């Protein structure tokens, strides 16, 4: 009995479901409705004429046919990755580096982390994508990105074949527009009690550390804004809406990048920066350069 060839999109959705072990999590990763993913999976099983998953408790597990299909799907997506790299290699003038940048990562930090790639013998053509952390991890696992720069490590227990590499860590500064900085600089940090603050939202890795620091110092700030996007938070801070936290940097950089002045140093609160890479048989020279810089101390504490 013959069957129609599987649709590539159906295979792609199957691959994500297999990696996630759940249609719900796969739908979240893909940004689709659960019913859409379920329907695509059913169409693929109909094309193959075999069940690819079986339900075990609350988790989907692969059948024997599903494991075989997944092994081929892995090869298909790996070949796609190798094809892109071969095409990039055919252009000897520049190496293409697709970078995912978490929207919570400060822009000048992203630049500092990528600056090492400008020193390679072969010039690099950067292709930068900014998105939420979870979406970038999904694109990395699907080989749409070469590396993700972010402020958090990959959670333990993930089914994705991705790996965290700590690049650097930095103490935090409290900064603000000049008028606010002048008002709250004296008697720091006690002066911050009741001060207007712009903070990252609670799903940001840094927010819990900031809240703990406030509590230890008996500081109750007036939270006038919470932001998922770091650039937007900085924009409001530059306009003087409130004080805000930023990774340690030279005063000239803070003034140029943020239009702000230092209020006080917060060495107890540290932000960590990671490069997340996928499992690749072919190493990307620009990614290797970033990771190598860690071992050489080129990305030391800011």
* pLDDT of amino acid 251: 79
3-state SS assignment for residue 117 = helix
Two tokens at 287? 């990614």
Rounded to two decimals, the pTM is: 0.60
Question: Distance of CA 127 to CAs 100, 152, 258, 291, Å?
Answer: 9, 21, 24, 18
pLDDT tens digit at each of 302 positions of the chain:
445 556 677 788 888 888 888 888 888 777 677 888 888 888 888 888 888 888 887 778 888 998 888 888 877 776 766 666 666 555 557 788 889 998 878 777 888 888 888 888 778 888 898 888 878 887 887 778 889 999 888 877 666 677 888 888 889 999 999 999 999 999 999 999 999 999 999 878 789 999 999 999 999 999 999 998 888 898 999 999 999 999 888 778 788 778 899 999 999 999 888 989 876 655 788 888 877 776 555 454 44
As a whole number of angstroms, the distance between CA 105 and CA 196 comes to: 22
* pLDDT of amino acid 146: 87
As a whole number of angstroms, the distance between CA 79 and CA 77 comes to: 5
Burial class (CB in 10 A: 0-12, 13-18, 19+), 146: buried
Q: DSSP secondary structure string, 275-301? A: EEEE--SS--HHHHHHHHHHHHTTT--
As a whole number of angstroms, the distance between CA 256 and CA 278 comes to: 35
* pLDDT of amino acid 174: 96
* pLDDT of amino acid 188: 96
Task: Please name the residue that has the structure tokens 């048989």.
Answer: 281
* pLDDT of amino acid 221: 97
Phi, psi (deg, nearest 5) at residue 250: -55, 150
* pLDDT of amino acid 300: 47
């Amino acid at each position: 009995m013959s069957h129609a060839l599987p649709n590539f999109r159906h295979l792609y959705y199957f691959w994500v479901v297999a990696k996630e072990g759940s249609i719900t999590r796969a739908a979240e990763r893909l940004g689709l409705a659960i019913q859409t993913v379920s329907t695509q999976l059913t169409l693929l099983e109909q094309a193959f004429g075999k069940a690819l998953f079986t339900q075990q408790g609350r988790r989907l597990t692969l059948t024997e046919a599903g494991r075989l299909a997944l092994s081929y799907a892995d090869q298909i997506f790996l070949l796609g990755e190798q094809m892109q790299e071969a095409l990039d290699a055919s252009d000897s003038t520049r190496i293409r580096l697709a970078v995912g940048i978490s929207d919570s990562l400060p822009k000048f930090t992203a630049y500092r982390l990528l600056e090492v790639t400008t020193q390679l013998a072969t010039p690099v053509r950067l292709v930068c994508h900014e998105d939420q952390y979870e979406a970038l991890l999904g694109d990395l696992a699907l080989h749409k990105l070469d590396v993700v720069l972010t402020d958090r490590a990959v959670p333990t227990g993930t089914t994705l074949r991705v790996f965290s590499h700590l690049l650097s860590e930095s103490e935090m500064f409290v900064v603000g527009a000049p008028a606010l900085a002048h008002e709250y600089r004296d008697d720091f940090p006690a002066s911050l009690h009741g001060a207007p603050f712009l903070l990252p939202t609670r799903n940001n890795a840094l927010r819990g550390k900031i809240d703990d620091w406030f509590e230890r110092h008996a500081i109750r700030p007036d939270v006038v804004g919470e932001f998922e996007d770091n650039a937007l938070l900085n924009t409001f801070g530059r306009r003087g809406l409130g004080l805000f936290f930023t990774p340690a940097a030279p005063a000239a950089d803070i003034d140029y990048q943020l239009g702000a002045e230092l209020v006080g140093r917060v060495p107890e609160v540290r932000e960590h920066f990671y490069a997340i890479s996928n499992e690749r048989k072919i190493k990307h020279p620009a990614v290797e350069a970033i990771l190598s810089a860690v071992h050489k101390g080129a990305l030391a504490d800011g």
